[in-house]
Structure 1
Amino acid sequence: MKKSVLILFLSTISMTSFAQEVAFKKVELSDSVALANQMQQLAVLCDTQNLSKLDVFKFQLIRGNYKEALVTFKKRIKETPIDQRHYLDIYMHYVEAKLSKNFKGAFKKSYRKYVKKSDDIQVINLDKALIIRDPTDYYVSNFKNTYSNIKSEKIAQATAIDLVKKYFLSTVFSSTRAIYFEEIKQDHKRRYAVNDSIVIPMKDGAEVSVVVVKRKGNSTTKKSAILVSSIYTGTNVASTTLAASKGYVGVIANTRGKRRSKSDIKPLEYENTDVYEVIDWISKQSWSNQKVAMVGGSYNGFTQWASMKHKVHPSLKTIVPMVAIAPGIDYPMENNVLHNYSYSWNFYVTNNKFLDFKASNDFNRWNTLKNTWYKTGVAFNKLDSLDGQVNKLWNTYMQHPSYDDFWKKMIPYKQEFAKIDIPILTITGYYDDSQRGAMYYFNEHHKYAKNPNHYLLVGPYDHWTAQTKPEESLRNYKLDKTALINIEEDIIYQWFDYILKGKEKPIILKDKVNFQVMDTDTWMHKSSLNAMTSDTLTFHLSATKVDDFYTLISDVNASEIEMTVDFKDRESITNTEYYPWPLEREQINLKDGLVFKSEALKEDVLINGSFFGNLEFSINKKDVDYSVIVYQLTPENKYFHLSYYIGRASFAKDREKRVLLTPNEFTEISFNNSKLISKKLEKGSRIVVVVNVNKNNNAQINYGTGKDVNEENIKDAVIPLQINFTGNSSISLPIWNSRK
């Protein structure tokens, strides 16, 4: 914009714009020129004195001050490690291209040169950050939604600043995406030979689509293969190129029905035979040295275990399952409580040969569905009726609420673990949604196999970071420096080189169980899960109240603590804070559930492992879904979410067989498979335990009639649930005491 025009514009607005509010009159979002002018004017009016260097750069760029922006940005980018610059490098090439008369040509030339100079790993990470996890559509819609929701002709400075920053992201990525997509893809073709047209016939006549990736320029020496078996078609190319860059052949096998396969899409059900046959196919290829390893997380972790359901293929030398789901154990239910997030997942993976991102990201649809279900109180198995679309896979789940033969056929079961004799590295995180699945495999393998060669690596990671590289903070908690390991690029391939090439074992794997102790900046290494613990802190529930809290005491007592939950009441929900996000907070809801607090710890304590409980209670119904959350109340009076458990009382003794409770009789329910954690609890900390009944819009509602919970509805909520806990109830924390 010319200087004279800007002066004229500034003279027409109130001087108060520079203080509290800024004049704002909407233009049509489709008018890109008018919108750009408006955002430029708005950027000029915003006070950027207290913004970061990166944000100041954004405002300089939107104002059109490209030379100033470049100077600011060069100072900022020097502070960032190269492996964290994926977005920043886009900004750099963008502002440099803006100084050219031919923006697109300049951006393309400079970005191509940048990509060519980058090493294999850097380009792979560009692919993951910019293509596989393409943020552009989100940035564009986020800006448009924010803009459209502004109703006033004056906006606060904070709103203006937020709008300009969102416009920056929207305009930078939307104007460059097509260019950097093409440059990254062309660079892959320069580095790798990709055969993506392979279709393998299965013995039962079905088809599996396979992709093979090799690094160009390598010798003709036969190589080991790194196999990813996945339903997430199109998202695992980076894994195979990483394998090729590390000196292996990368192979992707997609679930039958996906990609080029003409078969019906069948998630979960056939991996137990299909993956074995893919391994067999790999072992017979001319480029194969008959050594195959598998890697992958979540669903791709499950497929590794599924491949060994019937027998271990002779060419399968190792697996590295990360955050592996275990069907029927932690997906789609956890301790037999079925969550509804799996409802939308089914459409995401079965709507087409690749992935239906539009359906998956239709958050309005999914939020409306679960809220409508909760408000109306219809049965859980009627979700697709409310949705208006048939969900075949969901309806199949509805027929199998216990761990029955439908689930057992998918992965090794009991003695089937005994034959698994290859080296295994299991990776999970304290805040991994699939930790229970990962630990199920680990525990069952150790239970049935004799001295298995099975290692565990676990730290303060979630479902995503336990598969990749953790960032400095997780859900507002700053990680110790020792926790910042590169799992995907370093640890895993050190393991593969150890098993497949005879190199040294990864240094971090000093024993079979390796875990990072939060707030100590150290790792511990033990021979087994039991060896993590040397002592136990046991607390009993007590009816004695101090302020807003019931108390946790060391002894059994005669207390009775009553809780009432009215399932007819759909204006309120319970158990709203069981999910650990954020990890640390100033307050918790003291009116949601029964909240108990201990005395202050007299010394530092290391909590190592999974907390367990024995709850004695009576209810006036035949069943109940309950939860237990454990917090550390720090000396600074902040609540740190340590771990939680959620489960169904009638399946407490056996996930395969439902045993209903007798109404109004006391019973003891035990559990020991809460989320594992290791953390230092400072002297002066207190333990806070929240015992609750699950009633919200994220999972089934167990009305307690004894019928199949999937079929129960609000008509079954005749009387409120009355649950009465006794002082025999206890929660126990496994701890490490170096003096024992």
Structure 2
Amino acid sequence: MKKSVLLSFLIAISMTSFGQELPFRKVKLSDSIAISKQMKQLAALCNTQNLSDLDLFKFQLIRGDYADALVTFKKRIEETPIDKRQYLDIYMHYVEAKRSKNFKGEFKKSYRKYVKNADDIQVINLDKALIIRDPTDYYVNNFNTTYSSIESENLSQETAKDLVKKYFLRTVFSSTRDLYFEEIKQDHERRYSINDSTIIPMKDGAEVSVVVIQRKGKVSTKKPAVLIASIYAGSNETGAMLSASKGYVGVIANTRGKRLSSGEVKPFEYENTDVYEMIDWISKQSWSNQKVAMFGGSYNGFTQWASMKHKVHPALKTIVPMVAIAPGIDYPMENNILHNYSYSWNFYVTNNKFLDFDASNDFNRWNTLKNTWYKTGVAFNKLDSLDGQVNTLWNTYMAHPSYDAYWKKMIPYKQEFEKIDIPILTITGYYDDSQRGAMYYFNEHYKYAKNPNHYLLVGPYDHWTAQTRPDESLRNYKLDKSALLNIEEGLLFQWFDYILKGKEKPSILKDKVNFQVMDTNTWMHKPSLSAMTNDTLTFHFSDYKTDDFYALKSKSNTSKIDLTVDFKDRESMNNTGYYPWPLEKENINIKDGLLFKSEPLEEDVIINGSFLGNLEFTINKKDVDYSVILYHLTPEGNYFHLSYYIGRASYATDQEQRNLLIPNQKTQVSFDNSKLISKKLQKGSRMVAVVNVNKNNNAQLNYGTGKDVNEENIKDAEVPLKIIFSGNSSISLPVWYSLKE
């Protein structure tokens, strides 16, 4: 035994000293003992001199050096805030239990004690990180896929290290998941009274399944209720627990047909009546003080607005819609362009009474589907034929490309916003996929209601962090400290306490419109969206060209700039960079679309709001799906993705009625609903606009024939699309100059 260890040590010294490759021979993945021995040997042979403490710990653990691993790890865990170390705590309990002869018993014992000593919020966050977003299957598949793909009999140091780290994650989580699942769930039962078996009849005879959660040990008095109305059955319990921990009764009402209720699941169809009836049911319960609030994000934001479609229930005192989608406005289509990401979502939420994670996470299926559709050039309405499974809801969407009666029945429409007179806090983010929906509700409410008590909070958040709390960085951009709000656990319940319990209004809400100015570490507060700006920078297209960039000029001109797109070409795509990920990068694709660049800014300025576009062009087709991406070209030469717009020209003037273009006749299309942003632009910065025609595998292809876009196919692409922009085309930036304040 000693000779074997010595030999391994000498081999390690020899190989790591000279950076040689490590010998490797595959074994069966099903042979866990052989895999364990092989990974232990690799961990011993890898050069670990320059690893971080966390990575060094992983190698020590896989090698079986548990005492050393514990010493290495304690420093890291002591430096990590308790609300950010859910994974790290699993590692800690794992390595401590591995030192015992009874691993499972020791892990359960120590983890039970840890959970019992944690406060309510800690345990809720453990559930979110480890159960709701359970990473185990991903880690198992990631290691297995990586291992299976190796064909060489020698591994580089880099490949070997990557494999060991992936094995670490597979090993730790697969051997502890059932244990910590059980302990967390048992702890919930210790803290909360959970009634998850109630079914409420609707007036039309349908059923809605309800979960009611109350904190044990609290004084038994009537309390306000906080309602989450959701299609995501089984995934909102932590939100209701949070409400219970904050002194409210947490209630979840799932879309009819979900959880324990009978009937067919039809997203968006019935919330406009069912949620109102649920509020009525809550107001009549023995534990209710007849005050109800609502919160939630995405679909759960939509349900709040849907509840007020016909009238506001007297018991509903406030709503907090976060990143709320607006059906027909930003989901499943944006500016009348149907995106295919909603295709798989339909199966995710309708395949069973809860959620079909297997279908949702079958990325190979969805990628193959969209790539096959794009390559073959078949019509968009053949997607489910290619998939081999009927997608009824998807076909319904395609039958309603305009904002017609099908969509209008789901949420308040025009004058129906007038009657909404309760306090509202809308929360969204500059990089929220549903910002268009959130802002639609905000704008329509202010358009039709008289002096609405409606606040907006928006910052550098995405669809997830605007519902919860931001990390220190978003898509490689480091956020200002002032942006790091704890939205769900802090601001949300400060607002509820303000409205329902008469406490102070949250200090961040100093005016109706509250937004974080990126790169200034400050917030601005204005009485309206229009008050966000005190000037406008307008740039006109010009055919003057330097290298790959056309010029943006301050005045209109006689320029003509051509763009040709061949829809028959399926070897390339257009407009692949419109989605902002990462936010800042050194280069952009200079071959994708028309690139325009301004002269350097002569002074610092803040872009505040949604940039506007007024495009004048002639085109040889009856329609076109186009996009405009706006970048901030920093003085250092990096491209920062500020905002973008994507839309269908035939709906530019009216989302409810398609108005086809006249080929080869000058036309104008305008937009003012690009993604809202607030960011400081330094002196010397330039604006870069990328103008493009949408042609990729992520959305419909509008061939421009004027027919139903869902029916068009590659046979309609014989003549390439040609569009000629004039020098009257412009983009305008709403800005704020502090000197004009």
Q: State the TM-score, normalizing by the size of structure 2.
A: 0.99
2:313 counterpart letter in structure 1: H
1:635 counterpart letter in structure 2: P
SS at match of 1:466: coil
Distance (Å, rounded) in 1 between the aligned partners of 2:581 and 2:550: 24
1:96 and 2:96 aligned: yes
Distance (Å, rounded) in 2 between the aligned partners of 1:596 and 1:3: 69
How does 1:537-556 map onto structure 2 within 5 Å? Answer: 537-556=537-556
- Match for residue 644 of structure 1? 644
SS at match of 1:4: helix
Preserved contact between residue 600 and residue 683 of structure 2 (Cα < 8 Å): yes
- Match for residue 6 of structure 1? 5
Preserved contact between residue 227 and residue 250 of structure 1 (Cα < 8 Å): yes
- Match for residue 477 of structure 2? 477
How does 1:304-343 map onto structure 2 within 5 Å? Answer: 304-343=304-343
How does 1:557-572 map onto structure 2 within 5 Å? Answer: 557-572=557-572
1:141 CA drift (Å) = 0.4
Preserved contact between residue 323 and residue 428 of structure 2 (Cα < 8 Å): yes
1:302 and 2:298 aligned: no
1:709 and 2:709 aligned: yes
Preserved contact between residue 13 and residue 23 of structure 1 (Cα < 8 Å): no
Preserved contact between residue 17 and residue 23 of structure 1 (Cα < 8 Å): no
Preserved contact between residue 378 and residue 713 of structure 1 (Cα < 8 Å): yes
1:69 and 2:69 aligned: yes
1:462 and 2:499 aligned: no
- Match for residue 160 of structure 2? 160
Distance (Å, rounded) in 1 between the aligned partners of 2:22 and 2:685: 47
Distance (Å, rounded) in 2 between the aligned partners of 1:596 and 1:34: 58
How does 1:729-740 map onto structure 2 within 5 Å? Answer: 729-740=729-740
- Match for residue 602 of structure 1? 602
- Match for residue 661 of structure 1? 661
Q: Deviations over 1:10-46 (max 9, x none)?
A: 6678944651421111111111111111111101111
1:6 CA drift (Å) = 3.2
1:266 and 2:259 aligned: no
- Match for residue 510 of structure 1? 510
Distance (Å, rounded) in 1 between the aligned partners of 2:557 and 2:189: 71
1:5 CA drift (Å) = 2.7
2:297 counterpart letter in structure 1: G
Q: Deviations over 1:561-614 (max 9, x none)?
A: 000000011011000100000000110000100000111111111000000010
Preserved contact between residue 306 and residue 411 of structure 2 (Cα < 8 Å): yes
- Match for residue 114 of structure 1? 114
Preserved contact between residue 335 and residue 648 of structure 2 (Cα < 8 Å): yes
Q: Deviations over 1:124-156 (max 9, x none)?
A: 000000001100000110011011111101111
1:680 and 2:680 aligned: yes
Distance (Å, rounded) in 2 between the aligned partners of 1:123 and 1:372: 44
1:9 CA drift (Å) = 4.6
1:318 counterpart letter in structure 2: T
In 2 relative to 1, CA 123–14 (structure 1 residues): closer, same or farther, beyond 3 Å?
closer
Q: Deviations over 1:230-269 (max 9, x none)?
A: 0011110000000000000000000000000011111111
1:388 counterpart letter in structure 2: G
In 2 relative to 1, CA 14–122 (structure 1 residues): closer, same or farther, beyond 3 Å?
closer
Q: Deviations over 1:324-383 (max 9, x none)?
A: 000000000000000000000000000000000000000000000000000011111110
2:159 counterpart letter in structure 1: T
Distance (Å, rounded) in 2 between the aligned partners of 1:175 and 1:4: 31
RMSD: 1.0
Distance (Å, rounded) in 1 between the aligned partners of 2:194 and 2:175: 29
The runs of 5 or more residues in structure 1 that have no matched partner are none
- Match for residue 213 of structure 1? 213
Q: Percent identity?
A: 79
Preserved contact between residue 332 and residue 338 of structure 2 (Cα < 8 Å): yes
Distance (Å, rounded) in 1 between the aligned partners of 2:158 and 2:410: 52
- Match for residue 33 of structure 2? 33
2:465 counterpart letter in structure 1: T
Distance (Å, rounded) in 2 between the aligned partners of 1:50 and 1:533: 50
The runs of 5 or more residues in structure 2 that have no matched partner are none
1:660 counterpart letter in structure 2: L
1:527 counterpart letter in structure 2: P
1:8 CA drift (Å) = 3.9
How does 1:515-530 map onto structure 2 within 5 Å? Answer: 515-530=515-530
Distance (Å, rounded) in 1 between the aligned partners of 2:350 and 2:206: 16
2:30 counterpart letter in structure 1: S
1:7 CA drift (Å) = 3.2
Preserved contact between residue 309 and residue 411 of structure 1 (Cα < 8 Å): yes
Q: Deviations over 1:291-319 (max 9, x none)?
A: 00000000000000000000000000000
Distance (Å, rounded) in 2 between the aligned partners of 1:3 and 1:610: 70
- Match for residue 254 of structure 2? 254
Preserved contact between residue 16 and residue 47 of structure 2 (Cα < 8 Å): no
1:714 CA drift (Å) = 0.6
How does 1:144-223 map onto structure 2 within 5 Å? Answer: 144-223=144-223
The size of the alignment, in residue pairs, is 739
In 2 relative to 1, CA 284–705 (structure 1 residues): closer, same or farther, beyond 3 Å?
same
- Match for residue 532 of structure 2? 532
Preserved contact between residue 15 and residue 45 of structure 2 (Cα < 8 Å): no
Preserved contact between residue 598 and residue 688 of structure 1 (Cα < 8 Å): yes
1:694 counterpart letter in structure 2: N
Preserved contact between residue 541 and residue 726 of structure 1 (Cα < 8 Å): yes
Distance (Å, rounded) in 1 between the aligned partners of 2:205 and 2:118: 44
SS at match of 1:437: helix
Distance (Å, rounded) in 1 between the aligned partners of 2:483 and 2:142: 33
How does 1:223-622 map onto structure 2 within 5 Å? Answer: 223-622=223-622
1:422 counterpart letter in structure 2: I
1:569 counterpart letter in structure 2: D
1:667 counterpart letter in structure 2: T
Distance (Å, rounded) in 1 between the aligned partners of 2:332 and 2:727: 34
Distance (Å, rounded) in 2 between the aligned partners of 1:29 and 1:635: 52
Distance (Å, rounded) in 2 between the aligned partners of 1:7 and 1:351: 57
Q: Deviations over 1:458-499 (max 9, x none)?
A: 000000000001000000000000001100000000000000
SS at match of 2:425: strand
1:627 and 2:627 aligned: yes
1:4 CA drift (Å) = 3.4
Distance (Å, rounded) in 1 between the aligned partners of 2:4 and 2:232: 52
- Match for residue 727 of structure 2? 727
Q: Deviations over 1:170-193 (max 9, x none)?
A: 100010010100000000000000
SS at match of 1:723: strand
In 2 relative to 1, CA 167–628 (structure 1 residues): closer, same or farther, beyond 3 Å?
same
2:270 counterpart letter in structure 1: Y
Bigger mean CA deviation after superposition, 5-14 or 431-440: 5-14
In 2 relative to 1, CA 3–323 (structure 1 residues): closer, same or farther, beyond 3 Å?
farther
1:578 counterpart letter in structure 2: Y
1:597 counterpart letter in structure 2: K
SS at match of 2:87: helix
SS at match of 2:329: coil
- The list of structure 1 runs, each at least 4 consecutive aligned residues, that deviate by more than 3 angstroms after superposition, is 6-18
Distance (Å, rounded) in 1 between the aligned partners of 2:413 and 2:4: 74
Distance (Å, rounded) in 1 between the aligned partners of 2:707 and 2:161: 55
Distance (Å, rounded) in 1 between the aligned partners of 2:366 and 2:713: 20
1:520 CA drift (Å) = 0.3
Preserved contact between residue 429 and residue 463 of structure 1 (Cα < 8 Å): yes
1:47 CA drift (Å) = 1.2
- Match for residue 127 of structure 1? 127
1:718 CA drift (Å) = 1.6
Preserved contact between residue 83 and residue 122 of structure 2 (Cα < 8 Å): yes
1:739 CA drift (Å) = 2.2
1:94 counterpart letter in structure 2: Y
Q: Deviations over 1:197-219 (max 9, x none)?
A: 00000011110000000000111
Distance (Å, rounded) in 2 between the aligned partners of 1:55 and 1:480: 28
Distance (Å, rounded) in 2 between the aligned partners of 1:12 and 1:722: 65
SS at match of 1:632: strand
